[in-house]
């Protein structure tokens, strides 16, 4: 994770020197995509990041629209539905190629892709077909990068608006790491770094709305729920609810000290969902976000282009509607090293 981040920072240097803004949302997307491709599937996706990135953006926008206007259904070839199918086809081609390449080579079960290809049904002894492997790979690739990228993007935005919090973050990085590149062993000590990320996940949960289908008729606090109805649960709304959070709109990582976190109801905060379908990548995501945030912040401070509008947009996930162009500046400490 830090190797990929350091490679990105090297490319940033020229932009930093010339004061050229970078589109942080895109940079975070391609970084986390490369990381998840490498970590789970040993794939170098550096050549594919822009194809996957624009396919994912198109798909989320179209599917976001579909959630609110589900007519006509996907099977009817309207212009929107045809675009959805075309975009899925772009992703499919890429993933089927990866599967075909791996099937032709000897697999040793060292990564998740090999494990998926070698997996056998306990009863029938049958392996997965390409379609089943494709479903798993696409789910993990998409769920495994877009959300973490949004978390980091919003964190950069919040830090750029809160100099005092940024200063405390740098103080922790200086104290715990000095000039060292962070490693997993440092994470328990990077407590404030983690609190900053947790607070960014509160204000901008990348999955702002979760849905469930009622399997039977029920009643919730006096509200009747008909069988088969769709229930929407919003971490975004709950995370900003004044009955649960003091000054809910304020960015304040101190809310996540263990003492204060212990006083809150369990489901006041659920950026990773909950219950049996809780995010299976939550520890991976927190580790990745902590490592990327600390590696970047050790070297750079990110500043929003003055006057650039920032507004959350829900396109299945929560992104900054107008992107996040930022200039990058060497932090004092990194400035001394150069």
Specify the residue, 16 or 197, whose C-beta has the smaller distance to ligand HEM.
197
Q: Closest approach of Cβ 102 to ligand HEM, in Å?
A: 18
d(CA 17, CA 328): 9
Nearer to ligand HEM, 150 or 298 (CB): 150
Query: Among residues 16 and 150, whose Cβ is nearest to ligand HEM?
Result: 150
CB of 18: closest distance to ligand HEM in angstroms? 32
* Residues 6 or more apart in contact with residue 297 via CB below 8 angstroms: 159, 166, 169, 170, 173, 193, 331
**Shortest Å, Cβ 83 to ligand HEM:** 25
**Closest separation in Å from C-beta 139 to ligand HEM:** 5
Q: How far is the CB of 278 from ligand HEM (least distance, A)?
A: 6
**DSSP string of 269-330, one letter each residue:** --TT--GGG--TTHHHHHHHHHHHHHHHHHHEEEEEPTT----EEEESEEEETT--EEEEEE
Q: How many residues does the chain have?
A: 338
DSSP letter assigned to residue 45: -
Residue placing its CB nearer to ligand HEM in the complex, 26 or 32: 32
Choice between 120 and 139, CB closer to ligand HEM: 139
SS3 85: helix
Calpha distance 199→127 (Å, rounded) = 42
Residue with the CB atom nearest ligand HEM in the bound state: 281
Rounded to the nearest whole angstrom, what is the least distance from the CB of residue 163 to ligand HEM in the complex?
25
In the complex, which residues of this chain contact ligand HEM (CB under 6 A)? Answer: 36, 139-140, 143-144, 147-148, 151, 206-207, 210, 271-273, 277, 279-281, 284-285
Our CB check for ligand HEM shows the closer of 16 and 198 to be 198
The SS3 assignment for 71 reads coil
């Amino acid at each position: 994770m830090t190797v990929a981040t350091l490679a990105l920072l090297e490319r940033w240097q020229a932009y930093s020197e010339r004061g050229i803004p970078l589109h942080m949302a895109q940079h975070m997307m391609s970084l986390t995509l490369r990381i998840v491709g490498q970590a789970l599937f040993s794939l170098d996706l550096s050549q594919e990041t822009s194809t996957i990135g624009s396919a994912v953006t198109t798909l989320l926008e179209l599917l976001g629209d579909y959630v609110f206007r589900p007519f006509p259904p996907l099977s009817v070839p309207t212009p929107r539905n045809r675009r959805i199918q075309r975009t899925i086809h772009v992703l499919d081609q890429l993933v089927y190629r990866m599967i075909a390449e791996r099937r032709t080579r000897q697999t040793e079960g060292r990564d998740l892709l090999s494990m998926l290809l070698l997996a056998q049904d306990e009863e029938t002894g049958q392996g997965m077909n390409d379609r089943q492997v494709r479903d798993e790979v696409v789910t993990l690739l998409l769920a495994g990068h877009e959300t973490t990228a949004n978390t980091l993007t919003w964190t950069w935005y919040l830090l750029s608006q809160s100099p005092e919090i940024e200063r405390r973050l740098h103080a922790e990085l200086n104290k715990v790491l000095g000039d060292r590149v962070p490693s997993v062993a440092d994470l328990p000590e990077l407590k404030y770094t983690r609190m900053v990320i947790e607070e960014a996940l509160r204000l901008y949960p990348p999955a702002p709305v979760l849905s469930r289908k009622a399997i039977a008729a029920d009643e919730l606090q006096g509200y009747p729920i008909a069988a088969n109805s769709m229930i929407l649960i919003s971490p975004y709304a709950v995370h900003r609810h004044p009955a649960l959070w003091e000054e809910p709109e304020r960015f304040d990582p101190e809310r996540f000290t263990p003492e204060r976190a212990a006083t809150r109801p369990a489901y006041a905060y659920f950026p990773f969902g909950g219950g049996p379908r809780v995010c299976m990548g939550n520890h991976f995501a927190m580790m990745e976000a902590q490592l990327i945030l600390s590696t970047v912040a050790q070297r750079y401070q990110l500043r929003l282009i003055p006057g650039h509008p920032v507004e959350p947009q829900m396109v299945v996930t929560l992104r900054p509607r107008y992107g996040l162009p930022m200039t990058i500046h060497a932090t004092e400490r990194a400035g001394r090293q150069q």
